[in-house]
Amino acid sequence: MTRIDAKFADLNAQGKKAFVAYVMAGDPDYATSLEIVKGLPGAGVDIIELGLPFTDPMADGPTIQLAGQRALDGGMTLQKTLDLAAEFRKTDDTTPIVLMGYYNPIYSRGVDRFLEDAKAAGIDGLIVVDLPPEEDDELCIPAQAAGMNFIRLATPTTDDKRLPKVLQNTSGFVYYVSITGITGSAEAEATNVGPEVARIKASTDLPVIVGFGINTPEKAQNIASVADGAVVGSAIVSQVAAGKPVDEVLAFVKSLADGAHRA
């Protein structure tokens, strides 16, 4: 059982929904980023999504793209991202970390070496947005064999014909993208999301977590009420981009987590 599986089992036993927070590793710099990540569990975050900076983040909106650019400009690398996770693990051995990014940096390092290093750093799951199910032999299957969850995205355009393929080798949870388009570009609506979550859950026992377009405690509560939890990324990253002190960023995160936990 991975930390992700254990976390959902614990939340389920408490009758609670999950709150997942996304932050870009190394944004605005390594030290500040580490301080934020270390503070997330205390702010109510159940699962941390750690963004891996990349030069061509095609699925991300301007907010996340600029965060990645700030991190890269500050010298952030795949290795430093793993170092950050390992540093976090020195004081927290229970909060799951999902590494979210693109395949190129992983491919460049070599899949076997990457998986070994990621596992050693305390990474529990991967979301690799540009690897479709047709490429599962590349990373998904090896990652699962190494004891890591491979989390897949489902979207409003994932129809009933495509859904089984998407779910086939997915583990940990399903990440439902609530809107069409890029991150941070529109707002999620529970009335639209609810039926889609139900459709996915009819085909899998995995938790379904909803992200994209969630930017207030009320929105987090509404979306979590029709799913197994909510993810917030761009709204948190925007706080970092605005230069807010770490304690203010974490206070904002806590307000979102409280919203999701009220669901």
Helical H segments across the chain, by residue range: 3-14, 30-39, 62-73, 78-89, 103-109, 111-121, 140-145, 163-167, 190-201, 217-225, 234-241, 246-261
Closest of 143, 145, 214 to residue 179, by C-alpha: 214
Task: Please give the single-letter amino acid code of residue 78.
Answer: L
5 given a catalytic annotation: no
| Catalytic one of 5, 27, 46, 60 | 60
247 given a catalytic annotation: no
Q: CB within 8 A of 220, min separation 6: which ones?
A: 19, 214, 230, 232, 256, 257, 259, 260, 263
Contact 171, 147 (CB under 8 A): no
Pairing of strands 174-177, 152-154: parallel
Distance between CA 97 and CA 46 in Å, rounded? 9
**ω into 133 cis (within 30 of 0):** no
187 by DSSP, 3-state: which? coil
- Here the tokens at position 36 are 């934020």
CA 23 from chain centre, in angstroms, equals 8
| Catalytic one of 5, 27, 46, 49 | 49
263 by DSSP, 3-state: which? coil
Residues annotated as catalytic are 49, 60
